[in-house]
Amino acid sequence: MKRLVSLGILFNAALTTLAAYYIAGLSLGVSLILASILVVTGPTVIIPILRQVNLGNRLNKYLKWEAIINDPIGILFTLVIYEYLVYQHLNSELVILYAIPKAIIYSLLCTFLVGYSLKFLFEKTHFPDFLKVPTVLSTILLIFILAKNLQDGSGLLAVTSLGIFFANQKMLVLGELKKFKESISVFSVSLVFILMAASINLDILNRLDYHHYIFIFFVVVLIRVLSIVFSTLASDMKFKEALLIGSFGPRGIVAASIAGIIGTRLQHFNIPDGEMILPIVFAVIFSTVLVHSLAIEPLAKLLGFDTSKGKGLVIVGASKWSIDLAKLLEDYGVPVLITDSNWNRLKLARNYNLKYYYGEIAMSVQEAELALGDYSYLLVSTDSNAYNLYVANTLAEDFGANNIFQIPLDNQVNMITGDKDLKFNTLKEKIHYGWAFKATPITKEFTMKDFYNLDENKDAVNVLTIKADKSISFVSDHKQVNVKEGDLLVSFFDKVN
């Protein structure tokens, strides 16, 4: 990861600058700004695509965190070069050397003063929780205006620094900010791209010639690949991983926003080729989102990565009965992942050497921190009906509503699917009194009728069936089971009596 966000960015910026200067024929200053903008990949674009393509946790983490880290780095480089060009155009070299450090100092000063003030206000006082997110948003706007008035051009630098500060602080409001970010991102991304497209002058688009299109082709297809491959040589990253990461780098809202602002400002100061930034960046964003999103899965298969969806089960909520069920399924070859946000509840899963995930699964999947490519089914069973419903609804897109089984707490039946007689508290109570899970092969010689004729199965609750290909099917009514010869019937029965 260190190489991706250090050598990778430097190689990318250098190659893009050379291509913009020698191929597109842009001025050196604009070439440097364009390179700084185009090293930025878009987490708002990458994360939704990663949720649809099974690349595994390792590649997901590389792509996600590279995009998150290189955003502020690219912006900072862009703003510093912009400051230099503007003050070079207006003033002497002495003023340039004075203005750039001044912008950086003011930005950092505003960041730490406001950042620590908000942290103290939220953690040491009785500040209302429902006002924290609006306060943070208002503060960001205030910081932008304040820093910009202190030193022209330092507004974006200040709010970027403030974002980096908040990301590294353990504040409870960050969870609410992430949820708010999901809502506002959908709106802001759409709005920014609409405004950006509307602000492009058609006359400037007509000025794009074959030199510019060749440059755009190099940026979309070649430059990032070379940068990632060269920067990861002699590292623990495999060549095919570097090739896949280099081939996937759609640009997003950050590149669009900064191009719209910087391009307009450069035109205002009559800096040569400043008007070309916006249409070129717009073309790169459109091309990378279209080409990279369509090519990532076929390319991954071509390189030998398994992108097929697995047939495993994710169980949300670690309890004695859910862990016993997971252990039985693992014994019969069905991959299971136990997730819980309480570390102590996962102790039994760790003792059984079961695969587990400690964290809040819905947000982790949305943020591409957890890849679910090996799993096709979801069992949601915690001691909170509201949380169960939230997880089931949030992950319905990833699993499909028909593959989600939600167990209610008591007598409520607000579940996506599942046996109405199967309750969380009932399972918890019965496991305490000696009930257990078992898997029974259903064959031509041993039918469902034979199963029910056994005394131990008279009160048994049928939970799911395991097919020959290790796929599973939840039982929506344990009294009417659709089971075929060769299936394994998993049931919950009174082992003691």
d(CA 180, CA 403): 28
Residue showing tokens 């051009």:
153
Q: Are 121 and 127 in contact (CB under 8 A)?
A: yes
d(CA 478, CA 456): 15
State the DSSP code for 438.
E
The Cα-based distances of 120 to 50, 126, 310, 476 in angstroms read: 37, 11, 46, 51
Backbone angles phi, psi at 399, to 5 degrees: -105, -30
Angle between helix axes 173-199 and 155-167 (nearest 10 degrees) is 150
d(CA 442, CA 240): 45
Q: Are 129 and 177 in contact (CB under 8 A)?
A: no
- What pLDDT score does 417 carry? 42
CATH, domain 312-494, list 3.40.50.720, 3.50.50.60, 3.30.70.120, 3.40.640.10 = 3.40.50.720
d(CA 438, CA 346): 22
Question: 140: burial class by Cβ within 10 Å (0-12, 13-18, 19+)?
Answer: middle
- What pLDDT score does 476 carry? 66
Helix (H) or strand (E) holding 338: strand 336-340
d(CA 304, CA 489): 35
- What pLDDT score does 414 carry? 41
| Sheet bearing 472-474, strands edge to edge | 435-441, 488-494, 461-466, 472-474
- What pLDDT score does 415 carry? 43
d(CA 479, CA 452): 10
Beta carbons within 10 angstroms of residue 286's beta carbon: 16
Residue showing tokens 């003030």:
117
- What pLDDT score does 418 carry? 44
- Give domain limits for the chain: 7-302, 312-494
Beta carbons within 10 angstroms of residue 166's beta carbon: 18
| pLDDT tens by residue, the chain, 497 residues | 677 777 888 888 899 999 999 998 888 888 999 999 998 887 777 877 877 787 777 887 788 778 877 777 787 788 778 877 776 665 555 555 666 677 778 778 888 888 888 888 887 777 787 787 788 888 888 888 888 777 765 776 777 778 777 777 766 666 667 666 666 666 776 776 677 667 666 676 777 888 999 999 999 999 999 988 888 887 888 888 888 888 888 888 788 878 888 888 888 778 888 888 888 888 898 888 889 888 888 888 888 887 777 788 999 988 888 899 999 999 888 889 999 988 999 998 999 899 999 888 887 887 777 777 778 889 998 888 888 888 888 888 878 878 888 887 765 544 444 444 577 777 888 887 788 888 888 888 888 788 778 877 777 888 888 888 888 888 765 456 677 888 888 888 877 55
Residue showing tokens 């078992």:
438
46 token code pair: 């990458």
- What pLDDT score does 130 carry? 77
